Amino acid sequence: MFEVSNRIPLVGCIAFGLIDRGTNLIQVRPVSTCPLSCIFCSTNAGPKSKIRQTEYVVPLDHLIEEFEKLAAFKGKKHIEAHIDTVGEPLTYPKIVELVSGLRQVEGVETVSMQTHGSILNEKLVDRLSEAGLTRVNLSIDALDPKLARELADTEWYDVEKVVELAQHIALNSKIELLLAPVWVPQKNTKEIPKIIDLAVKLGIGKRFPPLGIQRYEIHKHGRKVKGIKPVPWKRFYEQMRVWEKDFNVKLLLKPEDFGIHKRTMLPVPYRKFEIARVEVVGPGWLKREKLAVTSKRDRSLTLVNAEDIPVGAKLKARIVANKHNLLIAEPVL
Amino acid 174: pLDDT: 96
Amino acid 96: pLDDT: 98
Amino acid 27: pLDDT: 98
Per-residue confidence band for 109, with pLDDT thresholds at 50, 70 and 90: very high
Q: How far apart are the first and last CA of the chain?
A: 29
Domain range annotation of the chain: 2-258, 275-331
Span 275-331: which CATH code?
A: 2.40.50
Among 301, 254, 257, 261, CA closest to 279: 301
The predicted-structure confidence for 218-254, as pLDDT tens digits, reads as follows 998 999 999 999 999 999 999 999 999 999 999 999 9
Average pLDDT, stretch 98-106? 98
295-322 burial by CB neighbour count: b if 16+ within 10 A, else e? eeeebbbbbbebeebeeebebebebeeb
Amino acid 230: pLDDT: 95
Whether pLDDT at 187 is above 90: yes
The predicted-structure confidence for 249-272, as pLDDT tens digits, reads as follows 999 999 999 999 999 999 999 999
290 DSSP β-pair partners: 283, 303
Per-residue confidence band for 333, with pLDDT thresholds at 50, 70 and 90: confident
- Please say whether the dihedral angle defined by the alpha carbons of residues 70, 74, 80 and 86, taken in this order, is positive or negative: negative
Whether pLDDT at 57 is above 90: yes
Amino acid 141: pLDDT: 98
Average pLDDT, stretch 289-314? 97
The predicted-structure confidence for 114-126, as pLDDT tens digits, reads as follows 999 999 999 999 9
Per-residue confidence band for 98, with pLDDT thresholds at 50, 70 and 90: very high
Amino acid 209: pLDDT: 96
Average pLDDT, stretch 53-64? 98
Per-residue confidence band for 51, with pLDDT thresholds at 50, 70 and 90: very high
Amino acid 185: pLDDT: 96
Please name the fold of domain 2-258: TIM Barrel (3.20.20)
Average pLDDT, stretch 84-104? 98
Whether pLDDT at 131 is above 90: yes
